[in-house]
Structure 1
């Protein structure tokens, strides 16, 4: 599945979201200064197993770099993704 739009930070809702063909992937987060604690990552059912959540996480890392944010994975998916992608460790905080 390909992203059909950019990752967006819905700051009032404390949610990152990105649309894909067939649905969206989102991440709810908590704010601690410039740190975003990633509480829950979820893909619409039609996207599960298609790699959309991984592409979302890569876009989230790029967003964090561009906005000088740090990410703290709390969600088990986010923790596992960062373990599989050590090149993204520079945004961990």
Structure 2
């Protein structure tokens, strides 16, 4: 299954769609200046267990890194995913590190 992840700024979310255009999942966010808070990840039940959540997580984190943003991972799914992906640590806002 091929997924395309796109930012939909007017809805404050990233959407993952399959090759038929069906909405497979989404990540909502709040953007304030250079800080982006990812608030919720949702995968359509028909697409569960197919890597949609991980695809979305990597896409939103790569987007934030490319745009030089600091990420606040509020979403429990994304927070757990980030534990397994330390390559994104430099762009995460943590209580032990000051924001730039």
TM bracket (short chain): 0.7 to 0.9
Give the unaligned 5+ runs of structure 1.
none
Q: By how many angstroms is 1:26 displaced?
A: 0.7
Give the unaligned 5+ runs of structure 2.
94-100
Question: Secondary structure, in 3 states, of the residue corresponding to 1:41?
Answer: strand
Q: By how many angstroms is 1:24 displaced?
A: 2.0
Q: By how many angstroms is 1:81 displaced?
A: 0.7
TM-score normalised by length of structure 1: 0.84
Count how many residue pairs are aligned between Structure 1 and Structure 2.
91
TM-score normalised by length of structure 2: 0.79
Higher RCO, Cα 8 Å, sep 6+: 1
Deviations 1:30-86 (CA, angstroms, capped at 9, x unpaired): 122111111100111111111111011111111112222222111110110111111
Which residue in the other structure is 1:67 paired with?
Answer: 67
Q: Is the 8 A contact 1:29 1:40 kept in 2?
A: yes
Question: Secondary structure, in 3 states, of the residue corresponding to 1:28?
Answer: strand
Larger radius of gyration: 2
| RMSD of Structure 2 on Structure 1 (CA) | 1.6
